[in-house]
Amino acid sequence: MPEPITPDPMTIAFLLFPHVTQLDLTGPAQVLSRLGGARIALVAKTRDPVPTDAGFALLPTATFNEVPAANILCVPGGFGTVAAMEDEATLAWLRQVGAGATWVTSVCTGSLLLGAAGLLRGYRAACHWASRDQLAWFGAEPVAERVVFDRNRVTGGGVTAGIDFALALTAAIRGEDHARFVQLSLEYDPAPPFDSGSPERAAPETLARYHSMVEAYAPGRAEKVKAIAERMTP
């Protein structure tokens, strides 16, 4: 495991890109902000507001040039993932920061972005259930788990798994007692009103509605991701 680049304060760099799923980012950011001695950086190509797929914007705190290194790199997912995967400046920044980060992490389809940057080849990884199999196109091993650790790569499943991922990473960095304290402070005690949070338990009509929604917002997404992966193949 490499030594932290900036031990005090610890720098946690979250990638921001247009049409990111904000909870992929804000969920783990809320948890990791309580690591102690940590600085959260929301990093984008410019400091202009970045639209999310929730209909509101997030304001970057730094540009790619301003954060050339970080202790923790975290990449969220969202409907804008494919466009980010096709942006060379974004991939170049991920490669640069990922090369020296103590922890290289993602939530949801952010793991596909790590894959497109060449940072998951030979690693086990999680992803949103609907895109998980696509990790194999980038040389990663898809794993159907909510949080996956493989050496210094830590990946979370879809959206809300980002909170679980961040608590697990907190435990790895600060110890389980501190992670339990953060969980209590956030009253993270989930008791969902419906048992429909996975494709195995959702009704067939709910599953079909989800796939229709994805095709409407991100038409041909799987085919585009596959084409990007094929361009990367030597």
Instruction: Look up 127 and say whether it is catalytic.
Output: no
d(CA 204, CA 234): 40
Q: Which of 17, 12, 113, 10 is nearest to 60 (CA)?
A: 17
Among the listed residues 108, 116, 117, 225, the single catalytic one is 108
Question: Which residues pair with residue 156 across a beta bridge?
Answer: 107, 147
* Residue keyed to tokens 């194999």: 136
φ, ψ (nearest 5 deg) of residue 158: -75, 130
Question: Which residues pair with residue 41 across a beta bridge?
Answer: 13
User: Both tokens of residue 135?
Assistant: 């990790």
Question: Which residues pair with residue 74 across a beta bridge?
Answer: 14, 105
Catalytic residues: 108
